[in-house]
Amino acid sequence: MNKQIFVNLPVKDLNKSKAFFAALGYTFNPQFSDDHAACMIISDDSIYAMLLVEDFFKTFTNKRIANAHEVTEVLTCLSCESREEVDGLVAKALAAGGKAPRAPHDHGFMHAHGFEDLDGHIWELVHMTGRPW
């Protein structure tokens, strides 16, 4: 059995979040989506983001939900096929209402950039041409 990862993120407005990520080209699995949650497919059969309405998200934890506009709760990093894909996804995120928390970085072996989604979650995007180690 292949390992899968499900990143669970609280969102204030599920429909706006779905529209934001759809503008970046992501699709959703209707089998695991309803009025409280949407299963965003990042990579077929392995990587998913569960966008959970805050009240539903709270049913999974006794801790307070971090306000990602004020604190960083996680940095989600996705690899891309090219520098153009990195920059293109950031451009789509900005056009859909997201923010770029910092300028792109070229580390020689890796081109990195990222965006904040509508709820302030940070998505790092990288294209690596080699390994630093």
pLDDT single digits (tens) 2-39: 889 999 999 999 999 999 999 999 999 999 999 999 99
Determine contact, residues 24/40, Cβ cutoff 8 Å.
no
Tokens representing residue 100 in the block: 């770029």
pLDDT at 45: 82
Q: Which helix (H) or strand (E) holds 26?
A: none
- Residue 112, both tokens: 């990195």
Cα–Cα distance measured from residue 51 to residue 18, given in angstroms and rounded to the nearest whole number: 8
Asked whether the whole model's pTM tops 0.85, one would answer yes
Asked if 105 and 97 count as a contact pair (C-beta separation under 8 A), the reply is no
Residue 86 has pLDDT above 90, yes or no: yes
Percentage with pLDDT > 70 across the chain = 97
Q: What CATH number labels 5-128?
A: 3.10.180.10
- Every domain of the chain and the residues it spans: 5-128
